[in-house]
Amino acid sequence: MTTPLIETKDIGKTYGSVIALSDVSTVVHAGEVTCVLGDNGAGKSTLIKILAGVHQHDEGSFQVEGEEIRFSSPREALDHGIATVYQDLAVVPLMSVWRNFFLGSEPTTALGFIDRKQGRAVTKKALSDMGIDLRDVEQPVGTLSGGERQCVAIARAVHFGAKVLILDEPTAALGVKQAGVVLKYVAQARDRGLGVVLITHNPHHAYPVANRFLLLKRGRALGSYEKDEIDIEELTRQMAGGAELEALAHELRAAEA
């Protein structure tokens, strides 16, 4: 077994008196997708903010490639190869696709000016390598659909050599077709050897691309499964609170007996 890219053991985080995350353990391997599922308030964003260096855990262990880590900034996480794509994608709508692709690390000419021609060509190549066909990388990012923006963000992470790609609900605001396209690029990033953390509400989006599932509920792990341990029906049932209802029914029967 190779060293995981990311491993958390019994990780916990409180905001004041709110326990946002408690005793959560999971693992992310190169070339695999770990899917984090749960309702609003489950702690999904808190978990990825710890992985991405936005917040720090206050309990448990967080290791990156076998090394105990506590990032003090998103920059530090990025330097360790952990790239995060947030749902709202902090993009400047009027900025061109290619400028957005580089965001401050544009190629320059010998005289130190931004090399627009090179920038456009590299962006086009990186997108087409992922099978993304944009006619015009000079068009403003704001003209792209939500799904296309997610795809550009995924291609960017792949191009700049991320080891871990974290996606916070990339399909939440999308229709079935666009969600399918985004999931195709998630699978491509995985097949190129990245470790992917995919956050979603939707077991039907998670199931086809994931290697394992972490189900969160009110900050706790409701379950953790390798793909061969759970089928889509059971995953859906667990998401819908089936496991909780069963536990409750069990308690009631025990109380009656």
Rg, C-alpha atoms of the chain:
20
For the chain, the 3-state helix, strand and coil shares in percent, each to the nearest 5, are 40, 25, 35
The one-letter amino acid at 15: Y
Is 45 a binding residue for ligand ADP by CB under 6 A? The answer is yes
Residues 3-22 that bind ligand ADP (CB under 6 A): 15, 18, 20
With binding defined as CB under 6 A, does residue 197 bind ligand ADP? Answer: no
Which partner, ligand ADP, Mg ion, none, binds residue 38 by CB below 5 to 8 Å per kind?
Answer: ligand ADP
Which of the ranges 37-45, 108-116, 182-190, 206-214 carries the binding residues for ligand ADP, by CB under 6 A? 37-45
Decide if residue 42 touches ligand ADP (CB under 6 A): yes
Least distance between ligand ADP and beta carbon 42 (Å): 4
Q: How far separated are the first and last CA of the chain, in Å rounded?
A: 47
> Tell me, what DSSP letter sits at residue 88?
T
Select from 29, 44, 124, 149 the one that contacts ligand ADP (CB under 6 A): 44
Question: Which parts of 16-111 are beta strand (E)?
Answer: 18-28, 33-37, 59-64, 67-68, 82-85
Nearer to ligand ADP, 44 or 156 (CB): 44
Q: CA dist 110 to 99, 113, 114, 153, 246, Å?
A: 19, 8, 10, 28, 67
How many Å apart are CA 37 and CA 31, to the nearest integer? 20
Which is nearer to ligand ADP, 84 or 123 (by Cβ)?
84
Q: Which is nearer to Mg ion, 158 or 206 (CB)?
A: 206
* Residue ranges that bind ligand ADP, judged by CB under 6 A: 15, 18, 20, 38, 40-46
